[in-house]
């Protein structure tokens, strides 16, 4: 196997398909996991996909990447924490692996508060507005950067 990618998802992404389908589409969280797995398999890579509504848990997973050195890159949809969490931005530099930020919607075409990201300055790239297909693009690019 090649690269090993950790895909992290923040709050409310477990509600995909239920929460605002006009914004996020009607795909489920299981569909996101499937997109990530297919993208990784196409590149002979491994992927692990996780979601949490608890910021402390998310930070712990990022810290584990630094301690355990099991993953070669992180793909992250921080959801609302994108716009609020300095702690998340600080944590993402600890593992010293490439980080790809992904968003299902085009956050720049939405409310003004969504235009700022604390994650973008520490990310190798940002993919936004392509629905859940963006996860496939992000995993593919993460493999390239690993």
Annotated binding site for substrate: 77, 83, 90, 104-105, 114
Provide the 8-state DSSP code for 62: H
Annotated active-site residue 24? The verdict is yes
Which position among 29, 63, 103, 135 bears the catalytic label? 103
Annotated active-site residue 135? The verdict is no
Angle at 133 between CA 50 and CA 74, to 5 degrees: 40
DSSP strands (E only) in the chain: 4-9, 46-51, 73-77, 99-103, 125-128
Which position among 24, 108, 118, 135 bears the catalytic label? 24
Q: Show Cβ contacts of residue 6 under 8 Å, excluding neighbours closer than 6 positions.
A: 47, 48, 50, 61, 65, 71, 73, 74, 75
19 token code pair: 């929460």
Write out the catalytic residue numbers: 24, 103
């Amino acid at each position: 196997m090649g690269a090993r990618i950790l895909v992290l998802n923040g709050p409310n992404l477990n509600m995909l398909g239920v929460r605002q389908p006009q914004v996020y589409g009607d795909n489920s969280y299981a569909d996101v996991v499937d997109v990530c797995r297919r993208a990784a398999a196409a590149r002979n890579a491994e992927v692990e996909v996780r979601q949490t509504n608890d910021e402390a848990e998310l930070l712990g997973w990022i810290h584990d990447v630094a301690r355990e050195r099991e993953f070669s890159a992180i793909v992250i949809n921080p959801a609302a924490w994108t716009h609020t969490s300095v702690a998340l931005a600080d944590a993402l530099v600890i593992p010293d692996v490439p980080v790809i930020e992904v968003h299902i919607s085009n956050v720049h075409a939405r409310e003004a508060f969504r235009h700022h990201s604390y994650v973008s300055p520490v990310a190798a790239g940002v993919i936004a507005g392509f629905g859940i297909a963006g996860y496939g693009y992000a995993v593919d690019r993460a493999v390239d950067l690993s």
